[in-house]
Homo-oligomer: A and B are copies of this chain.
Amino acid sequence: MPDLIHDGDSAAAVSSLRSAVMLLGRRLKHQRVDESLSPTEMSVLGTLARCGSATPGELARKEHVQPPSMTRIVALLEAKGLVRLEPHPDDRRQKRVSQTEQAEAMLAESRTKRNAWLSHLAEGLDEDEWEKLRAAAPVLEKLAHL
C-alpha cells in the first residue's frame, strides 16, 4: 500500500467522489429509465441477467441490501411478472429466482431509453470527459462491491 495513495489529491478526490455520488444517486432516483421500477429493482434484474439465477440471499449480498429488503424487492418483481420463483432443488429453505422473458424484453427496451438519457447528458460533456468516465466506470463498480 504505497503512500502515494494518501496524498492530498486523493483525499480531495475521495471527498469529491463522495458528494458527487450522493448527488448523482439522488438525481438518478428521479430520472429513472423505467417508471414504476426502483433503481435497486433495476439493478437486481441486471444481476439476474448476468448470473442466470440466484437465491434471495445471494442477491441481497450482491446488492448490499438486507435479506428482508430483498424479499420485498423480489416479491414486487414477481408481482410485475419480471421474475419467477421456484423451489430450490437441494435445500427447501431457499428459493431460486430467475428472470422471465418479459424481463428480457424490458431490459432491451430500457437500453434504448438509456441511450436517450445518454444523449441528453452528452450535451454537457466533451469527448475527453466521457473517456474518463468510461475508464472509471468499472473501477467504480469494483469499489461499490468492495
Given contacts A18-B28, A24-B143, contact A9 B136 (CB under 8 A): no
In contact, A137 and B6 (Cβ under 8 angstroms) = no
In contact, B17 and A140 (Cβ under 8 angstroms) = yes
Contact of A125 among B11, B118, B135, B142 (CB under 8 A): B142
A57: interface (CB < 8 Å): no
Given contacts A43-B19, A127-B5, contact A143 B118 (CB under 8 A): no
Chain B min CB distance to A132 (Å): 5
Q: Which residues of B contact A14 (CB under 8 A)?
A: 114, 117-118
In contact, B133 and A140 (Cβ under 8 angstroms) = yes
User: Contact string, A44-73, partner B, CB cutoff 8 A, digits 1/0?
Assistant: 001000000000000000011100000000
